[in-house]
């Protein structure tokens, strides 16, 4: 037990190194286990995940075009009216204006000035608290989900779409799209490409055959929202029509018999019945039957007052696909690519061994310097091993956490080796100034060395922390790895090196 | 036996003025270079496309370099070969969209490309400046908190400042553009620079023993640290240059310049400030 108390740092170091090695090399461990197919294909023996820079692919950072007024008294009753008024006043399409009762905000998905939106709202009798560039969280979530579905639909694996916030700058939000193995223009056209969508009525004609008639065009669906669940837990997609379309839709549906007893809840596509078909580029992608509630509002003529209906789906995935199809893959607002990065997979894969060789060469340079300086292998060899142990622990951490390694992280590893060796030199010199005989003298010297190391580590961590918080893309990974490495170094590995030296240099333990 | 000994330099044989003049002169020259650069170009150091907006491609081709350069639809603002195997070229363009390739293009392959819009670039630049400023400020506050005396603390801060400014001036001289990689290197310099300065201050202020004895011991350790780091960075710079990993070679080069500056600043400027503090500042 006392042995453990004396040597717990060495024990902790050994445990961490072993655990990290297991995490790195044992199959089926870590976040890369679920992408093992990919891993087998690249022939990488470790469990490490690699980011775009080391595996190849595309990263687009985009901003959403739009202006948003917050603090507007929007209610479910006046939302349509506000949107129509603003779109007319600003001379933009009705589909480019969105009033949201939930957040009390009005968005315009066009490049209009903030002052003109404010004036327009005030002219209409509303008093917005603030008007800013950008769009609401709901719109961004919607865009992220649409892009995600579109990329999924093409079967490209490993893609990632996310909304990130930066702490400074004019555009505070970026939608980041990462797709491995594709090139930038392919991904860009995939995201921005759109098709032709129509809603067709499918019903039994007078001569016994089934009739197909287009009742709504894509641009008449002014709002298609993200899927929600009704009180019974059924997923649905809310759709809102323009005023003229609502008038015509009411007439058509009544005329074709959808509101009659036979028309309600009676879709047997493609074997007859009454269905509302969603068609993308002429292909049927979804069919739904008339609901009793909608049929009632249609026949009573109340539909035109609030021209919205729900299309229910059997699962959330189906609802999401339907939503993307209803919008013909179009995004509610335009996105602008601010930054694109592409690296060919074959080229990126080469970086892996090359940067490994670079790192090894730097480590060998350190080892040679240390050996030349101290001459004594008792000091130099544990020093080199301790420095390498820090890297192994960091890599083990990366494997377990599923961190996608990029060149910036590798730069961080090098920074860690650098500060690590500095600290080990401080420890070695401190304890060797005079002949160390007793463990007690050793301890006091060692504590003095730790003060310097702790102070230096604190400054390094402090210097790196702004980068870890600011969203500076590539530099964030670098800063996080450096901070983590310094922490592991100060708390575990560097003190353990002190213990190793004590065991090697003193006689009374 | 050790084959590499830290050279025994007897700093006490020089006067304070003799010791402090070279680092101050270097700092003044560096500030002049940066100031001149700023007057001429409007920026203290030429920012790369990550900060100005623009595009950059790496093309791989066995064709001669002039032919590759001419194949682009727009004239590159800079065009150079990367790596040492001679068939990879880095071309930078002012336009936000990388131009296409026309003409006899059968064997030119774009293996890497990056496009940055000017708005994104300027917001990145703002963030990077904020990051460096915040890091430097944080370091200064912590150093003052650690030593709680003005002269030793300001010595560390001035050394660190010079360790960053001199490499920035050298970047202008060697035409290295500021990129996210070089910003990372400048931040790493804050960490490395402070290591040896804190070590020196600690030995002089918190240990028993004479001033010169303490300085000697701190130097023995500190010079070893810095030389080891320089060796590692020189190797990294050369190897990554050969392989054409531009991010690593630019980080390495900036660090080598900064670490060499740090050797001079710590053992000439910082030592002298501490010496003045020990022998004259305190006595008053």
Contact A48/A24 with Cβ under 8 angstroms? Answer: yes
Interval A67-87 mean pLDDT: 86
Q: Is the per-residue pLDDT at B103 higher than 50? A: yes
Q: Say if residues B15 and B9 touch (Cβ distance below 8 Å).
A: no
- Rounded-to-integer distance, Cα A337 and Cα B31, Å: 37
**CB distance B113 to B98 below 8 Å:** yes
Number of domains in chain B: 2
Are B268 and B227 within one domain?
A: yes
Q: Is the domain A2-49+344-505 a CATH 1.10.10.10 member?
A: no
Contacts of A322 (CB under 8 A, 6+ apart): A227, A237, A278, A285, A286, A311, A313
* B258: containing domain: 11-48+119-279
Q: Does residue B22 surpass a pLDDT of 60? A: yes
Q: Is residue B34 located within the same domain as residue B90?
A: no
Separation in Å, CA of B200 to nearest CA in chain A: 10
What confidence category does residue A32 fall into, taking pLDDT thresholds of 50, 70 and 90? very low
Kindly state whether residue B284 falls inside one of the protein's structural domains: no
Query: Mean pLDDT over residues B50-58, rounded?
Result: 88
Tell me the C-alpha distance between B117 and A336, whole Å. 9
More confident residue, A226 or A433: A226
Helical pair A494-505 and A407-432, crossing angle rounded to 10 deg: 30
A86 touches chain B (CB under 8 A): no
Q: Tell me, what's the pLDDT at B30?
A: 94
Which residues 462-481 in chain A show a CB within 8 A of chain B? Answer: 462-467, 470-475, 478-479
Of B112, B138, B245, the CB nearest to A462: B138
Contact B117 A338 (CB under 8 A): yes
Separation CA A479–CA A412 (nearest Å): 7
Question: What pLDDT score was predicted for residue A31?
Answer: 47
Section A372-393 average pLDDT: 86
Kindly identify which residue of chain B lies nearest to residue A418, measuring between CA atoms.
B229
B97 shares a domain with B196: no
Yes or no, beta carbons of A467 and B131 under 8 Å apart? yes
Q: Least CB-CB distance to B229: which of A342, A422, A448?
A: A422
Residues of chain A contacting residue B153, judged by C-beta atoms under 8 Å apart:
none
pLDDT of residue A360: 85
**Distance separating alpha carbons of residues A272 and A147, to the nearest angstrom:** 34
Which is more confidently placed, A152 or A172? A152
Tell me the C-alpha distance between B76 and B99, whole Å. Answer: 9
Using pLDDT thresholds of 50, 70 and 90, give the confidence band for residue A39.
very low
Residues B135 and B230 in one domain: yes
pLDDT tens for B161-174 read: 999 999 999 999 98
Nearest to A372 among B3, B139, B195 (CB): B3
Contacts of A435 (CB under 8 A, 6+ apart): none
DSSP state of B94: S
Contact B135 A452 (CB under 8 A): no
Give A442 to chain B, closest Cα distance, Å: 16
Residue B148, chain A, CB below 8 Å: the answer is no
pLDDT of residue B157: 93
Whether the per-residue pLDDT at A119 is higher than 60: the answer is: yes
Stretch 182-241 of chain A: residues touching chain B, C-beta under 8 Å: 184
Cβ contacts (< 8 Å) between A467 and chain B: which residues? 131, 135, 184, 187
Which of these three, B116, B140, B161, is where a domain ends? B116
Q: Is the pLDDT of residue B91 over 80?
A: yes
Quick one: average pLDDT of A449-467?
85
Residues of A numbered 311-350 whose beta carbons fall under 8 angstroms of chain B's beta carbons: which are they?
Answer: 336-344, 346-348
The closest CB to that of B191, out of A370, A459, A466, belongs to A459
The nearest CA of chain B is from the CA of A15 a distance in Å of 28
Q: Which residues of A touch B127 (CB under 8 A)?
A: 166-169, 470-472
Q: Is the pLDDT of residue A508 over 60?
A: no
Question: Is B223's Cβ below 8 Å from some Cβ in A?
Answer: no
Q: Are residues B111 and B173 in the same domain?
A: no
Does A421 contact B239 at a Cβ distance shorter than 8 Å?
no
Q: Taking 50 as the threshold, does the pLDDT of residue B1 lie above it? A: no
Check whether B284 has a pLDDT greater than 50: no
Which site among A418, A477, A480 would you substitute to test the B interface, given the most B Cβ atoms closer than 10 Å to its Cβ?
A418
Check B224 against A373: CB less than 8 A apart. yes
Arch. (CATH architecture) of A197-323: 2-Layer Sandwich (3.30)
Over the stretch B193-209, which tens digit does the pLDDT of each residue have?
A: 888 899 999 888 887 77
Whether residues B231 and B253 fall in one domain: yes
> B101, B193, B239: best mutation site toward chain A, by most A Cβ within 10 Å?
B239
Last residue of a domain, one of B116, B146, B166: B116
Pairing type for strands A404-405 and A49-50 reads parallel
Sign of the torsion formed by the C-alpha atoms of A330, A321, A99 and A201: positive
Residues B59, B159 within the same domain: no
- What average pLDDT does chain A have? 82
Common-topology check for domains A57-62+138-193+334-342 and A66-133: yes
Are A290 and A265 spatial neighbours (Cβ–Cβ below 8 Å)? yes
Tell me the pLDDT band of B4, cut-offs 50, 70 and 90: low
Helix (H) or strand (E) holding A215, with range, is strand A210-217
**What is d(CA A190, CA A179) in angstroms, rounded to the nearest whole number?**
11
Q: Which fold has domain A66-133?
A: Alpha-Beta Plaits (3.30.70)
Residues B31 and B156 in one domain: yes
Tokens of B188: 């790493």
Q: How far apart are CA A276 and CA A298, in angstroms?
A: 14
B1 touches chain A (CB under 8 A): yes
Exposure string (b/e) for A91-115, b if CB count within 10 Å is 16 or more?
Answer: ebebbbbbbbeebbbbbbbbebebe
Cβ(A252)–Cβ(A213) below 8 Å: yes
Tell whether B172 and B249 lie within a shared domain.
Answer: yes
pLDDT, position A91: 87
The reported pLDDT for the residue numbered A29 is: 57
**Candidates A361, A466, A490, partner chain B, best to mutate (most B CBs within 10 A):** A466
**B1 vs chain A: nearest CA distance in angstroms?**
5
Per the model's pLDDT, the better-predicted residue between B247 and B22 turns out to be: B22
Identify all chain B residues contacting A478, using CB atoms and an 8 Å cutoff: 184
- Can you tell me the distance from the alpha carbon of A412 to that of A484, in angstroms, rounded to the nearest whole number? 10
B83 against B182, higher pLDDT: B182
Within a domain: residue B27? yes
Residues with Cβ within 8 Å of B204's Cβ and at least 6 positions away in sequence, in order, are B152, B211, B214, B215, B218, B274, B278
pLDDT > 70 fraction of chain A, expressed in percent and rounded? 91
What stretches of A59-211 show up as alpha helix (H) in DSSP? 79-90, 114-123, 137-153, 184-192
pLDDT at residue B29 in the model: 94
Nearest by CB to residue A170, choosing from B123, B229, B247, is: B123
Quick check: A344 and A56 in contact, CB under 8 A? Answer: yes
Could you give the CA distance from residue A386 to residue B221 in angstroms, rounded to a whole number?
A: 18
- Please tell me which of the candidates B116, B123, B220 has its beta carbon nearest to residue A169: B123
CA dist., res. B196 & res. B184, Å (int): 19
With a cut of 50, say whether residue A310 has pLDDT above it: yes
pTM tops 0.90: no
Q: Quick one: CATH architecture of A57-62+138-193+334-342?
A: 2-Layer Sandwich (3.30)
For A57, phi and psi rounded to 5 degrees? 145, -165
Contact in structure between B225 and B195 (CB atoms under 8 Å)? yes
CATH number at residue B207: 1.20.1640.10
Spatial distance between the Cα atoms of B198 and B190, rounded to a whole number of angstroms? 12
Q: Between chains, do A463 and B191 touch, taking CB under 8 Å as contact?
A: yes
Euclidean distance between CA atoms A100 and A250, whole angstroms:
25
Hey, is the C-beta of B201 within 8 angstroms of any chain A C-beta? no
Find, among B233, B203, B105, the residue nearest to A421 by Cα. B233
- For residue A376, which residues of chain B lie inside 8 Å, CB to CB? 2
Model confidence at A44: pLDDT above 80: no
The H or E element that residue A223 is part of is: strand A221-224
* Rounded CA separation A286/A44 (Å): 43
CA–CA dist B55, B76 (Å, integer): 10
The most confident of the ranges A50-54, A327-331, B86-90, B264-268 is B264-268
Q: How confident is the model at residue B76 (pLDDT cuts 50, 70, 90)?
A: confident
Q: Give me the mean pLDDT over the B134-158 stretch.
A: 90
Nearest chain A residue to B134 by CA: give it. Answer: A466
Among the partner residues B220, B225, B248, nearest to A355 by beta-carbon distance: B248
pLDDT of residue A36: 37
Reading phi first (left if > 0) and then psi (alpha if -120 to 50, else beta), residue B215 is in: alpha
Compute the average pLDDT of residues A332-341.
Answer: 85
**Average pLDDT in the A449-453 region?**
85
Taking residues A143-162, report their average pLDDT. Answer: 80
What dihedral do alpha carbons A505, B1, B4, B6 form, nearest 10°? 60
Distance from C-alpha of A212 to C-alpha of A201, rounded to nearest angstrom: 6
pLDDT of residue A420: 84
Q: Do residue B184 and residue B240 come from a single domain? A: yes
Higher-confidence residue: A467 or B223? B223
Flag whether pLDDT at A170 surpasses 60. Answer: no
Given a cut of 60, whether residue A167 has pLDDT beyond it is no
- For A409-428, how does the pLDDT look when each residue is reduced to its tens digit (9 = 90+)? 887 887 788 788 888 888 88
The reported pLDDT for the residue numbered A450 is 84
Which of the residues A59, A186, A339 would you substitute to probe the B interface, choosing the one with the greatest number of B C-beta atoms within 10 Å? Answer: A339
What pLDDT is stored for residue A35 in this prediction? 43
What pLDDT, in 10s, does the model give residues A469-497? 776 666 777 888 888 989 988 888 888 88
Chain A, chain B: beta-carbon pairs less than 8 Å apart: 236
Q: What is the pLDDT of residue A93?
A: 83
The mean pLDDT value for B96-101 works out to 81
Q: Indicate if B240 and B155 belong to the same structural domain.
A: yes
Domain assignment present for residue B78? The answer is: yes
B2 falls within a domain:
no
List, as one string, the DSSP characters of A363-422: HHHHHHHHHHHH--HHHHHHHHHHHHHHHHHHHHHHHHHT-EE-HHHHHHHHHHHHHHHH
Q: Which of B 25-84 lie inside 8 A of A, CB atoms?
A: 58, 60
Min Cα–Cα distance to chain B from A176, Å: 13
Q: Has residue B85 got a pLDDT over 80? A: no
pLDDT of residue A28: 64
Which two three-digit tokens encode residue A84?
A: 């129509």
Higher pLDDT, A63 or A32: A63
- pLDDT band per the 50, 70, 90 thresholds, residue B6: low
Q: Which of B97, B116, B135 is the last residue of a domain?
A: B116
Domain coordinates in residue numbering, chain A: 2-49+344-505, 57-62+138-193+334-342, 66-133, 197-323
Residue with tokens 């000439």: B268
Partner-chain contact A184 B113, CB within 8 Å:
yes
Pair B18, B78 in one domain: no
Residue A452 has pLDDT above 60, yes or no: yes
């Amino acid at each position: 037990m006392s042995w453990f108390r004396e040597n717990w740092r060495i024990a902790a170091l050994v445990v961490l190194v072993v655990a990290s090695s297991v995490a790195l090399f044992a199959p089926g461990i870590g976040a890369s286990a679920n992408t093992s197919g990919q891993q087998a294909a690249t022939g990488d023996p470790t469990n490490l995940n690699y980011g775009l820079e080391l595996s190849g692919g595309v990263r687009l950072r985009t901003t959403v075009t739009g202006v948003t007024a917050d603090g507007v008294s929007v209610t479910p009753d006046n939302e349509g009216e506000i949107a129509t008024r603003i779109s007319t006043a600003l001379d933009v399409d009705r589909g480019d204006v969105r009033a949201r009762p939930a957040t009390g905000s009005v968005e315009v998905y066009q490049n209009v000035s903030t002052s003109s939106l404010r004036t327009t709202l005030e002219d209409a009798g509303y008093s917005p608290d603030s008007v800013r560039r950008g769009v609401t969280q709901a719109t961004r979530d919607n865009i992220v989900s649409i892009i995600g579905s579109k990329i999924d639909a093409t079967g490209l694996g490993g893609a990632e779409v996310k909304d990130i916030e930066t702490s400074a700058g004019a555009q505070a939000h970026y939608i980041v799209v990462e797709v491995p193995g594709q090139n930038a223009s392919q991904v860009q056209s995939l995201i921005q490409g759109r098709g032709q969508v129509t809603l067709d009525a499918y019903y039994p004609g007078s001569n016994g055959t089934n009739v197909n008639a287009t009742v709504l065009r894509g641009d008449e669906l002014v709002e298609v929202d993200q899927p929600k669940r009704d009180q019974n837990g059924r997923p649905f997609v809310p759709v809102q029509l323009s005023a003229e379309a609502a008038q015509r839709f009411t007439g058509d549906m009544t005329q074709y018999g959808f509101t009659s007893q036979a028309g309600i809840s009676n879709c047997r596509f493609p074997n007859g019945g009454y269905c509302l078909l969603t068609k993308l580029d002429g292909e049927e992608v979804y069919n739904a039957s008339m609901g009793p509630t909608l049929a009632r509002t249609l026949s009573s003529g109340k539909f035109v007052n609030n021209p919205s209906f729900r299309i229910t789906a059997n699962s959330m995935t189906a609802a999401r696909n339907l939503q993307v199809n209803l919008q013909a893959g179009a995004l509610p607002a335009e996105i602008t690519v601010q930054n694109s990065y592409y690296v060919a997979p074959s080229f990126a894969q080469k970086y892996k061994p090359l940067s490994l060789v670079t790192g090894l060469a730097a480590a060998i340079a350190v080892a040679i310097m240390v050996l030349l300086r101290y001459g004594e292998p008792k000091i130099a060899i544990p020093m080199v091993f301790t420095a390498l142990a820090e890297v192994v622990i960091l890599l083990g951490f990366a494997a377990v956490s599923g961190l996608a390694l990029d060149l910036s992280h590798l730069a961080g590893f090098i920074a860690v080796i650098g500060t690590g060796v500095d600290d080990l030199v401080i420890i070695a010199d401190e304890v060797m100034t005079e002949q160390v005989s007793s463990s007690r003298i050793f301890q006091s010297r060692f504590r003095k060395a730790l003060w310097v190391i702790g102070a230096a580590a604190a400054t390094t961590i402090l210097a790196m922390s702004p980068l870890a918080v600011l969203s500076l893309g590539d530099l964030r990974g670098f800063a996080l790895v450096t901070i983590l490495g310094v922490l592991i170094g100060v708390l575990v590995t560097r003190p353990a090196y002190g213990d190793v030296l004590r065991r090697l240099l003193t006689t009374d333990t | 036996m050790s084959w590499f000994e830290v050279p025994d330099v007897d700093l006490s044989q020089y006067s304070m003025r003799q010791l402090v003049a070279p680092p101050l002169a270097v700092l003044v020259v560096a500030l002049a270079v940066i100031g001149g650069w700023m007057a001429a170009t409007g920026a203290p150091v030429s920012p790369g496309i990550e900060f100005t907006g623009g595009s950059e491609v790496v093309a791989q081709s066995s064709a001669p370099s002039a032919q590759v350069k001419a194949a682009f639809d727009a004239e590159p603002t800079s065009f150079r070969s990367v790596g040492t195997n001679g068939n990879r070229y880095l071309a930078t363009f002012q336009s936000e969209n990388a131009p296409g390739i026309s003409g006899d293009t059968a064997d030119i392959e774009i293996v890497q490309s990056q496009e940055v819009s000017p708005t994104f670039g300027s917001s990145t630049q703002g963030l990077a400046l904020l990051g460096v400023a915040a890091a430097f400020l944080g370091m200064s506050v912590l150093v003052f908190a650690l030593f709680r005396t003005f002269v030793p603390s300001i010595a560390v801060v001035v050394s660190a400042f010079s360790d960053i400014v001199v490499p920035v001036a050298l970047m202008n001289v060697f035409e290295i553009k500021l990129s996210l990689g070089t910003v990372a290197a400048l931040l790493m310099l804050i960490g490395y620079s402070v290591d040896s300065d804190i070590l020196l201050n600690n030995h002089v202020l918190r240990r028993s023993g004479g001033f010169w004895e303490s300085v000697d011991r701190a130097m023995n350790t500190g010079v070893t640290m810095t030389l080891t780091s320089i060796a590692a960075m020189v190797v990294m710079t050369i190897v990554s240059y050969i392989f054409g990993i531009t991010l690593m070679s630019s980080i390495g080069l900036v660090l080598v310049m900064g670490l060499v500056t740090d050797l001079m600043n710590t053992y000439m400027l910082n030592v002298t400030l501490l010496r003045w503090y020990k022998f004259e500042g305190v006595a008053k």
